[in-house]
Amino acid sequence: MVLCQKEILFQWTNFGEDSFFATAQTYESHPDKFSSFYKYIQTKYNYTGKISVPYLLGLTCTENVMWLHSFIASHYDIFENTRTLFLADKKLNNIIKSGKRKADEIDKELANSTDSILFKARLPISSKGLDVDNRTIQAFTLQLEESNIELKNTRKKLRESLETINKLHKQLEEISNSTRSSLKL
């Protein structure tokens, strides 16, 4: 869009097969809200239906979106946290889904119970749930995730310790066997 003599000009360019957008095949500039662009598409490609700009730009195709994302990322540093944010959002959604499944399990247990309050993991469980605000729920979620990370790291350390113990045990057996063989001679 270019502003010229109090009139908005809409510019469009067709680069054809040039995926680097360096050589224009056709371009026009008119104050027609892209009507000339729609006419061009209808004429050039014999298209008569509704025109969707995301479709024309190829943004409905995953490969095109990924290519465009990487092309922009190679020229501008604007996607640095995209993957981190995506993974964090995915993790949070998984935690929420897990919580909803657990809530359904609790509801079933409460429906099958004659008691108004149940105790699970030494905590009271009721059909009303807990009366807590969103900040507290966020803190619980964070605390749960921190505990899960700590548990995962502890398991990793235990596995590594077990491997070390097994290696040392094997070495001790080898030493013991070589000592026995040398004593027999």
pLDDT string in tens for the chain (185-residue length): 555 567 888 888 888 888 778 888 888 888 888 888 888 888 888 888 887 878 877 888 888 888 888 888 777 777 777 777 778 888 888 999 999 999 999 889 888 888 767 888 888 888 888 888 989 989 998 999 999 999 999 999 999 999 999 999 999 998 888 887 777 66
Q: List residues bridging with 126 in a β-sheet.
A: 117
| Strand ranges (E), the chain | 2-4, 7-14, 26-30, 117-120, 123-126
**pLDDT at position 126, please?**
82
Q: How far apart are CA 163 and CA 84, in angstroms?
A: 33
Q: Are 124 and 144 in contact (CB under 8 A)?
A: no
The domain ranges of the chain are: 2-75, 82-155
**pLDDT at position 127, please?**
80
Q: Are 26 and 13 in contact (CB under 8 A)?
A: yes
**pLDDT at position 185, please?**
61
**pLDDT at position 71, please?**
80
